[in-house]
């Protein structure tokens, strides 16, 4: 536990879960509470962690990727910390508390939260329920309970139940997040020749990759990889018909690694070899 008296007053526990907890349970990484003494900003990115943040008093701003959210007392934030984020207190200096946690099943749980319309920032009817979770985790983490990892797991599972109960927003699923898909599709259509993957696209557009895969197929009737392949195939056919480029040159130009891979994908998608297509057309 550390106490800092600088721009902020902080009480936090940097927790070290057992190897059993890391492999089996929802486990704690850090829990704490902060009162700002003057304006300050905290920034992080690339963490294998999920953050629950509560605003108890005052106000500030949260930035996740390119999105900004104004926060005030009573707001709760739930963030996938693999993406860049920062939070800044306003002149109305805030008091916040947080839990950083993770677990082998958290990626799937967060995907489910997102698919139900769960939002990064929301205002629950029972803010005290979330406060109670943070307090319980803090007390357990500072205790010498021999099964505290199990007890922390129990509280974190209860926390996920609370979050799922707050996440059901079907109107948000149908409008907000699905609207981002057109940007993803347009990006693939204009950058098909680059090294693209579901992982890189999900990171670029700040979307969980499983959720992106699911709703892309629902909207366009094909997977992300199938659409990428169709864009590359169309470009390859254009070059086969209207240029004298070699298969190796075409492969590089459309994003397929070499002529052999181009031939294999072309035959699979078009039903004939590139040479046959060029001759026929």
Structural domains of the chain in order of their starting residue, each with its CATH number: 2-168 (2.60.120.280), 170-281 (1.10.10.60)
Mean pLDDT for the chain? 90
Give the tokens for residue 148.
């505290």
Give the tokens for residue 163.
């979050």
DSSP code for 273: -
- Of residues 30, 85, 35, 88, the one with CA closest to residue 57: 35
pLDDT of residue 203: 80
Question: What's the Cα-to-Cα distance from 25 to each of 95, 113, 154, 235, rounded to whole Å?
Answer: 30, 18, 9, 48
Q: How far apart are CA 10 and CA 1, in angstroms?
A: 9
pLDDT for residue 175 is more than 80: no
Query: Between 217 and 32, where is the model more confident?
Result: 32
Q: What percent of the chain has pLDDT over 70?
A: 94
Alpha helices in 83-146 (DSSP H): 106-115, 127-141
pLDDT of residue 215: 84
69-80 average pLDDT score: 95
Q: By the 8 A CB rule, do 232 and 256 touch?
A: yes
Q: 3-state class of 272 per DSSP?
A: coil
Q: How far apart are CA 170 and CA 172, in angstroms?
A: 5
pLDDT for residue 173 is more than 60: no
pLDDT of residue 47: 92
pLDDT for residue 5 is more than 60: no
Alpha helices in 8-147 (DSSP H): 19-24, 106-115, 127-141
Give the tokens for residue 270.
């078009």
pLDDT of residue 22: 95
- State pLDDT tens for residues 106-152: 999 998 888 777 889 999 989 999 999 999 999 999 999 999 999 99
Q: What is the DSSP string of 232-246?
A: HHHHHHHHHHH----
């Amino acid at each position: 536990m550390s106490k800092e008296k600088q721009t902020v007053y902080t009480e936090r526990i940097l927790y070290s879960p057992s190897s059993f907890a890391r492999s089996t349970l929802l486990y704690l990484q850090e829990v704490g509470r902060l009162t700002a003494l003057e304006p300050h900003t905290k920034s992080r990115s690339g963490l294998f962690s999920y953050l629950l943040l509560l605003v108890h008093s005052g106000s500030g701003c949260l930035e996740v990727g390119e999105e900004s959210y104004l926060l005030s007392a009573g707001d709760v934030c739930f963030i996938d910390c693999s993406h860049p984020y920062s939070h800044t207190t306003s002149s109305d200096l805030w008091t916040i508390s947080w839990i950083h946690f993770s677990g082998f099943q958290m990626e799937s749980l967060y995907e489910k939260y997102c698919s139900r319309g769960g939002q990064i920032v929301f205002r629950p009817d029972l803010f005290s329920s979330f406060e109670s979770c943070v307090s319980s985790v803090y007390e357990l983490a500072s205790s010498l309970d021999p099964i505290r990892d199990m007890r922390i797991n129990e509280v974190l599972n209860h926390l996920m139940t609370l979050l799922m109960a707050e996440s059901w927003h079907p109107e948000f699923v149908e409008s907000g997040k699905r609207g981002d898909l057109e940007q993803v599709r347009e990006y693939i259509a204009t950058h098909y020749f680059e090294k693209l993957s579901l992982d890189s696209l999900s990171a670029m557009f700040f979307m969980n990759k499983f959720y992106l895969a699911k709703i892309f197929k629902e909207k366009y009737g094909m997977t992300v990889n199938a659409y990428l392949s169709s864009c590359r195939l169309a470009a390859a056919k254009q070059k086969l018909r209207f240029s004298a480029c070699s298969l190796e040159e075409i492969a590089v130009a459309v994003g397929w690694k070499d002529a052999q891979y181009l031939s294999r994908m072309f035959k699979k998608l078009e039903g004939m070899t590139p040479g046959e297509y060029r001759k026929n057309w």
